[in-house]
Amino acid sequence: MAKITIVDIQHKAFKKKLNGYDPAEVDQYLDELIETFEDEAQQRAALEAEISDLRERISHFKAMEESLHNTLLLAQRTADEVKASAHKEADLIRAEARMSVEKEIAAYGDRASEARREHQRALETAEQAKSELRSLLTTHLALLDRGDAAHMPRSANLNGNVDAPLVES
């Protein structure tokens, strides 16, 4: 059975019989049916248009959702890569700093060793200078003692004899 359309109702003709339905009443009822069908057809068309619009919007939102999802995945991957890169860079900086500190410590150790050697040389030089000065002073003191002995008066001993000058050796 085929669906009845508004056009079918508008063109429907009934046979006339004696004691049949009132044609004016039947026409009025058919007009009401046509008007009702037209209203429902317009509402249906409006609803179908709204459904189509909503489907388009859903499709648009699904595309946006997929795009956002892909963007979030890309952002997560990028963040992970940046984080890994930062860790690698931090490790490299720590290694460079460790090497730099070790070099500085070695340099300070070398400088400390050199300072100790210089200090030891200075102590040895000072000891040598003291020894040389002591020797020089001893020599000068001996010279002074000899020079004083030659100029000293001779002393008399208890017997009345004059002794030779006293010289310390």
Each domain of the chain, given as residue ranges in start order, spans 22-115
At residue 153, does pLDDT exceed 90? no
Split at pLDDT 50, 70, 90, the class of 109 is very high
Structure-model confidence comparison of residues 30 and 150, the more confident one:
30
pLDDT greater than 90 at residue 139: yes
Exposure string (b/e) for 95-106, b if CB count within 10 Å is 16 or more?
A: eeeeeeeeeeee
**pLDDT on residue 138:** 94
Average pLDDT over residues 1-26: 79
Q: What angle do CA 46, 51, 56 make, to 5 degrees?
A: 125
Quote the pTM value: 0.43
Lowest mean pLDDT among 52-56, 76-80, 140-144, 157-161: 157-161
Q: What is the pLDDT of residue 158?
A: 52
Q: What whole-number distance in Å separates Cα of residue 31 and Cα of residue 119?
A: 127
User: Given a cut of 80, is residue 164 above it in pLDDT?
Assistant: no
Do the beta carbons of residue 83 and residue 91 sit within 8 Å? no
**What element of type H or E holds 140?**
helix 23-150
Q: Which of 14-18, 78-82, 159-163 has the highest mean pLDDT?
A: 78-82
- The lowest-confidence range among 25-29, 71-75, 100-104, 138-142 is 25-29
The CA distance from 60 to 62, in Å, is 5
Return the residue matching tokens 């400088």.
111
**Rg, C-alpha atoms of the chain:** 65
Task: Give percent above pLDDT 90 in the chain.
Answer: 60
How many angstroms separate the Cα of 91 from the Cα of each of 41, 83, 85, 120? 73, 12, 10, 43
Q: Which residues contact 26 (CB under 8 A, 6 or more apart)?
A: 14
pLDDT over 50 at 156, yes or no? no
Contacts of residue 168, Cβ cutoff 8 Å, sequence gap at least 6? 145
